[in-house]
Amino acid sequence: MRDREPTVRSRELGERMRQAMGRAGLNNKEAARLLGWSESWVSRLLSGKRGGSAVDVAAFLGACRVKSPERDQVLALCAELHTPGWLQQHGSRLPKQLVTLVNHEDQAVDYSDVQPMLVPGLLQTGDYARAVISRVANVPAAEVEERVVARLARRCLFTRDWPPRFTFYLHESVLRLPVGGPEVMADQLHHLLRMSVRPQITLRVVPVSLGAHAATAGPFIFLEFAEFKPVVYLESETSCLFLEKPEEIQAYRLILAALAQTALSEEESRELIATLATELYGDREDQDDRA
C-alpha cells in the first residue's frame, strides 16, 4: 500500500492513537511487537500517512487497552477518513473543534484569517474576548471564563521559536463596532497597533468605501503546512467544518488573492486604526495620565 498525503482526519486519528499508546506506556516498537506489525508501519499509521482499516485501528486500540466510549469515538473517526470535509457538531461544552483547530494551528507555516465581523481570535484582548463570548446565546455563563482562557492561550503561536507567517484581514466595521464599550475597544485598537508591527504579522483592513468585497460570504481561516495539504476552517454557532478538497482550497485562495488586491496596505491600515482609536475613543493613555 502506498503512503498518501495526510489529511485533517488522518492526522487527528493518528494523534488519538498516539495518545492511547502513550497512556498504555508503549512506544512504536513495543506496539508493533504486540501486534505483529513492522515498526515503520506503525509510524506511518500514527503520522497519518497511511490510513488503517477499522480492523487495524480496533486491533491497535485493543493492544493499548482502550475501552468504550473512547474506543467508539476513535473508530467513528476512522470511519470518516474518506469523507470529504469534516463536520464536527458541538454543544455547550468547550467545543471539540477548538482542540482540533489548535493542533493544526500549531503545525501551520502560513496562517491567513479573514474576519469581516469581529477582531480575529488570535488578536483579541482578554476583555474583548470576554465581551464577545459572554454575548453568545449558547454559552453558559459558567463557561465564559474557561473559553476566554482557551482563546487567549492560542496566542502562544506568536512566541514559538518558528512561528507561522500570519496574515489578518478585517473589515473596517470591525474597528467601529463598540464591543465591550469605549475602554475595551480603545485597548483593543491599541493592541492591534502593537501586534501589527511584529515582523511575522501582516494586518490589513478592508475599507468600508470598497462596498461589497470578496469575503462577504463570511469569516474563515486558511492554514498551510510544510508537509500536508492546506485546510480551510469554517465555524458557525453549532458546528465547524474543515475543508480539504482541491476545488474548495482554490476557491478560498481566490478570495485571499482578491483581498490582497483591494484591502488597505499595512501602513494605511495602521493609520486608520490609530485614527479611529483617537476619533472614537479619544487618546486613552492621555486620559489615564490626566486622571
Question: What does each C-alpha distance from 275 to 103, 210, 269, 282, 285 come to in angstroms?
Answer: 37, 18, 10, 9, 14
Residue 290: the pLDDT is 39
DSSP 117: S
Confidence at residue 90, expressed as pLDDT on a 0 to 100 scale: 45
When pLDDT is averaged across residues 88-92 and rounded to a whole number, the result is 46
Q: What are phi and psi of 206, to 5 degrees?
A: -90, 115
| H/E stretch holding 114 | strand 108-115
Which pTM value belongs to this model? 0.70
The fraction of the chain above a pLDDT of 90, given in percent, is 50
Q: Which residues neighbour 240 within 8 Å (Cβ) at sequence distance 6 or greater?
A: 87, 88, 90, 95, 97, 101, 233, 234
For the stretch 208-234, pLDDT in tens is 999 999 999 999 999 999 878 899 999
- For 40, phi and psi rounded to 5 degrees? -65, -35
Structural domains in the chain, CATH included, are: 8-79 (1.10.260.40), 86-290 (3.30.870.10)
Q: Sorting pLDDT into bands at 50, 70 and 90, what band is 240? A: confident
Judged against a pLDDT cut of 70, whether residue 258 lies above it is answered with yes
pLDDT band at 143 (very low <50, low <70, confident <90, very high): confident
Tell me, what's the pLDDT at 276?
95
- Could you tell me the three cell numbers for 17? 492513537
Cell 469575503, residue located: 215
CB 144 within 8 A of CB 129: no
- Per-residue confidence at 291, pLDDT binned at 50, 70, 90? very low
